[in-house]
Structure 1
Amino acid sequence: MKEVTLIATAAMGIESIVAKEVQTLGYETTVENGKVIFNAPINAIPRCNLWLRTADRVKLVVGEFKATTFDELFEATKALPWEQFIPEDGQFPVSGKSHKSTLFSVSDCQAIVKKSIAERLKLKHGLASNLPETGALYKIEVALLKDIATLTIDTSGAGLHRRGYRVGQGDAPVKETLAAALVLLTNWNPNKAFIDPFCGSGTIPIEAALIGQNIAPGFNRNFASEDWSFIKQKYWDDAFTEAEDLANYDQALDIIGSDIDHRMVEIAKANALEAGLSDLIQWKQMQVSDLNIKRDNGYIVSNPPYGVRLSDREQITKLYRELGDVMKNHSSWSVYIITAFEEFEKYYGHKATKKRKLFNGFIKTDYYQFFGKKN
């Protein structure tokens, strides 16, 4: 087994960012809704889990086939080489989903796939009794779309947004993967100033610092596939060594995170400390109207309150006006704001250069991009 097919799953709207990250690692990609597909050597599994900032998970494709009956699903699943991946003591729970397919009962599909894989593994591993399932975890998914079944194994374990540094959060935190995408969608580089004036628990400034020093986002966490016997330990060792070698810990950064709520500022500080970035980010408690910008050609990237409740509207529009008033005097700065508030431009006082549709969880948002006039 020299090469495998992998899927990097992505939130809607950022598939192209995930694809670019995969391509940067050296793999050619095919982009579909919600996923980026690529063929790669086995050592790509450690590398992709360590380095992909914006993907949700990395899944190993075991097989894909058409199935319109339970018999077809059972036999095609059994024909796949599961023993190449799952040892005789491996745990292999099966989850599923079905969309626009003849086989619409997800629970039945899960049970059939589970039984089929078990029969194949018992046969190939020479076992007469039931499989013990006491070893490493291999989470399998059967996904049916328009009668095409795709069977995958999740290599990541916990979602890739779980970097391991979030010790606290507010009411509506932005996921780490989306925060990284917000930064990567700008032209910011680590020599430029960076401010998040609505920083909350600090996720956007922390992700910016990780990007600025080229620190692999998965460096301080574990992955399900670290326990898989078919992935040599050398591949993991090499991937971690590569990540350490490519990190630029000497890169100076000018990153500020501020929030009106002192409790959130303290949480942000704690998260930055956990991420090992406490000396790289300045945290301030202040109102957006007190924003004091001293450098030219900087970047604001932020996820301000959206004002989903009608009672919040007056406060939210005031915040947007204040931000717009401050930035009128700093035309060299680029401003990137994600919000579900549809009248943002009206209260900010300026029409965006560009807008991009994104989803913050299940909330449909716009990413407003105001490009600065460089001095």
Structure 2
Amino acid sequence: MQKVELIATATFGLESVVADEVRGLGYEDVKVDNGKVTFTADLSAIPRANMWLRTADRVRLKIGEFHATTFDELFEKTKALPWSDWIPEDAAFPVEGKSVKSTLFSVPDCQAIVKKAVVESLKKTYKREWFDEQGPLFKIEVALLKDVATLTIDTSGPGLHKRGYRGLIGTAPLKETMAAALILLSRWKPDRIFMDPFCGSGTIPIEAALIGQNIAPGMNREFVSESWPVIPKALWREARAETHDLAQYDRKLEIIGTDIDDEVLKVARRNAAEAGVDDQIHFQRMDVRDIRTKRKYGYLICNPPYGERLGDWKQVTRLYREMGQVFRSELDTWSYYIITSDEEFEQHFGRQATKKRKLYNGNIKVDYYQYFGPKPPRPAAQPASE
């Protein structure tokens, strides 16, 4: 089967998580760079990567890469790429671009040059002077970094965070891809109780349920490359069949989402139902100060309010102190993972994190504070029967 080079784009700080996911799909030729993970695979990787990657932003098909410091160089080298191998005669092929630390810094000019070069390449193949662009969409990107131009076509369409279940969004939402990354970074296992005491519209608990039952995040949505003639429909059918075969719908999970806002909890319940995991999550109205449980060795992952979101640092500081008191007294055997932009979080919380990781929630720099609890005791060995 035809080999392709794909780029899974990633939020800053999540590249290694995306790379682990790519390797988990069975692809070994993996290269990690800032903001992207590049890998080589056969054509079936386009539907499989789009359906399975939980933490990538989108999947791009790499058409070519070359050095360019002049518009002539950009034009000629773009024109020489095999565009007609992918783009049919009736396709729509808009061009977007970006330029970082490059001689060719004018993005609109670069976009126009690339568009003209692709048109000239297609004119030579299809023997025509004009393209109506009324057919399937092939969105081209020219990305210039330190005078190296990378030409790709987007295979995803809407970003991969758009799973399809979150039609109703609460305030200050966390992207589904980020929520999934927080869970994967925690190494949570589906046999352990899971809690989010600031669940909002339910994104973190829902992503935990999808991970816990091995439900592919993209199994029920469509992707722009499904309309591409070059990808056989059978590959999409096989990829979707695989998602159903590998889903563990019978696995029971214990996931709890709490919040103090009844209205946002209604949204969370609707979102969970839309995702098909409402029977795995218990949503409840509760203040974080009221958390009580006899369960041991659970996982708590949350995205609590922080100053940029609330605009009230005093209120946030008080909340973090209360969290620290409650977690130490009521969840002393649990592991907890907290994302916030407050650089003094540990001081307010009253305990230094076991591990800290820098991430970005949208444009806000945040840290992921990870507190590792004790491991549960191993079950006692059963005596041998006589």
| Residue of structure 1 in register with 2:297 after alignment | 297
**CA contact under 8 A between 2:96 and 2:140: conserved in structure 1?**
yes
Q: Which amino acid letter does the alignment assign opposite residue 138 of structure 1?
A: F
CA deviations 1:5-34 (Å, max 9, x no partner) are 100000000100000000001112100000
State how 1:1-375 maps to structure 2 within 5 Å. 2-28=2-28, 29-127=30-128, 129-308=129-308, 312-329=312-329, 330-375=331-376
Looking at structure 1, the residues matched to 269 and 180 of structure 2 have their Cα atoms a distance apart, in angstroms, of 18
Q: Which amino acid letter does the alignment assign opposite residue 285 of structure 2?
A: Q
**CA contact under 8 A between 1:88 and 1:122: conserved in structure 2?**
no
**CA contact under 8 A between 1:85 and 1:230: conserved in structure 2?**
yes
- Residues 196, 122 of structure 1: alpha-carbon distance in 2 compared, 3 angstrom cutoff: same
CA deviations 1:142-194 (Å, max 9, x no partner) are 01111111000000000000000002112210000000000000121111000
Partner of 1:308, secondary structure, is helix
CA deviations 1:310-350 (Å, max 9, x no partner) are 86223212222222122213222000000001221122221
- Residues 17, 292 of structure 1: alpha-carbon distance in 2 compared, 3 angstrom cutoff: same
**CA contact under 8 A between 2:172 and 2:309: conserved in structure 1?**
no
Looking at structure 2, the residues matched to 221 and 106 of structure 1 have their Cα atoms a distance apart, in angstroms, of 32
**Structure 2, unaligned stretches of length 5 or more?**
377-386
CA deviations 1:13-71 (Å, max 9, x no partner) are 01000000000011121000000001110100000000000000100000011111111
**CA contact under 8 A between 1:167 and 1:270: conserved in structure 2?**
no
**Structure 1, unaligned stretches of length 5 or more?**
none
Looking at structure 2, the residues matched to 36 and 42 of structure 1 have their Cα atoms a distance apart, in angstroms, of 17
Looking at structure 2, the residues matched to 156 and 43 of structure 1 have their Cα atoms a distance apart, in angstroms, of 14
- 1:309 Cα deviation from its structure 2 partner: 7.1
Looking at structure 1, the residues matched to 273 and 247 of structure 2 have their Cα atoms a distance apart, in angstroms, of 18
Looking at structure 1, the residues matched to 227 and 270 of structure 2 have their Cα atoms a distance apart, in angstroms, of 30
Runs of 4+ in 1 over 3 A off after TM superposition: none
Looking at structure 1, the residues matched to 153 and 230 of structure 2 have their Cα atoms a distance apart, in angstroms, of 13
Partner of 1:185, secondary structure, is helix
**CA contact under 8 A between 2:143 and 2:150: conserved in structure 1?**
yes
Q: Which moved more, 1:169-178 or 1:322-331?
A: 322-331
Partner of 2:186, secondary structure, is coil
State the superposition RMSD in angstroms: 1.2
**CA contact under 8 A between 2:170 and 2:264: conserved in structure 1?**
yes
Q: Which amino acid letter does the alignment assign opposite residue 324 of structure 1?
A: G
Looking at structure 1, the residues matched to 251 and 278 of structure 2 have their Cα atoms a distance apart, in angstroms, of 14
Partner of 1:90, secondary structure, is coil
Partner of 2:318, secondary structure, is helix
- 1:270 Cα deviation from its structure 2 partner: 1.0
Looking at structure 2, the residues matched to 56 and 4 of structure 1 have their Cα atoms a distance apart, in angstroms, of 19
The percent of aligned pairs where both chains have the same amino acid is 62
Q: Which moved more, 1:307-316 or 1:261-270?
A: 307-316
